[in-house]
Structure 1
Amino acid sequence: MKGIYTSKMGEVQITTDVIATYAGTTAVECFGIVGMAKVYTRDGGIARLLKKESLTKGISVHIAENEINLDFHVIVAYGVSIQAVADNLIENVRYKLEEFTGMRVNRVNVFVEGVRVID
């Protein structure tokens, strides 16, 4: 699925991979986010921290009628307020994606898959 933005100059199509990459980069810049996570069901539901090159695997992007819905699977730093971190992530991603794409971000869901102690 692609997001389509139409202007007087023409049409711009944005793929979900581009949106996921931008959203993932924005998310890992947020305080308290250690990184994106992928849950491996074959390992009993264990979440693993993804490398920076694999940010998009921890994010699901759905576009309907030029509205973006996102699911983030993240690992947070130990000792931070999960609610504050999630609220910060949601607001930063919403603002930056709307500026970047010109589309409305309808919903951002945050799934905390793990906690990691940071040195």
Structure 2
Amino acid sequence: MVKLETHLGETNISQEYFSNLVGHAASECFGVSGMAVTDAKQSLKSVITKKQALDQGVRVRISNGKLVVDLHIMVTYGVNIAVIVKSIVNKVRYTVEEATGMEVARVNVFVDSMKTE
């Protein structure tokens, strides 16, 4: 649960909401072929449901009152990884800040694998 405090009061936003928001924004970027599994829980969830969840490969945490986003992605073979990562960082930061009003300190993108499609 992420708490946002303003002069109007306190708002609680669930971790699942952030993960789905970030996963959806990252998946829409060119060259991203999917999100990578990062732990056993996500792996088991993807095996049972037989589909990729939006929160797969996403971790959102708070550091010094600002959000830090970790993304584990799979990219399409032959694309410029530096350009894709820059695009993802900009899109995720913009999407989260517009949807929640919270400042994003960092977006860490980890390219775990490549797919040929």
- Tell me the TM-score normalized by structure 2: 0.82
Other structure's SS at 2:26 match:
helix
Q: Match for residue 104 of structure 2? A: 105
Distance 1:5 1:88 in 2: 27
Q: Match for residue 51 of structure 1? A: 51
Give the fraction of aligned pairs with identical amino acids, expressed as a percent: 36
Evaluate the alpha carbon distance shift between residue 38 and residue 10 of structure 1 in structure 2; reply closer, same or farther with a 3 A threshold: same
Identify unmatched segments of 5+ residues in structure 2. Answer: 41-45
Q: Deviations over 1:62-119 (max 9, x none)?
A: 113431101110000111100000000000000010011110000111110111112x
Q: Match for residue 63 of structure 1? A: 62
Q: Match for residue 27 of structure 1? A: 26
Higher strand content, 1 or 2: 1
Q: CA deviation at 1:12?
A: 1.3
Evaluate the alpha carbon distance shift between residue 70 and residue 40 of structure 1 in structure 2; reply closer, same or farther with a 3 A threshold: closer
Distance 1:64 1:12 in 2: 18
Amino acid across the alignment from 1:66: G
- Tell me the TM-score normalized by structure 1: 0.81
Contact 1:39/1:113 (CA < 8 Å) preserved in 2?
no
How many residues matched? 109
Amino acid across the alignment from 2:84: V
Distance 1:32 1:7 in 2: 38
Amino acid across the alignment from 1:33: V
Contact 1:69/1:108 (CA < 8 Å) preserved in 2?
yes
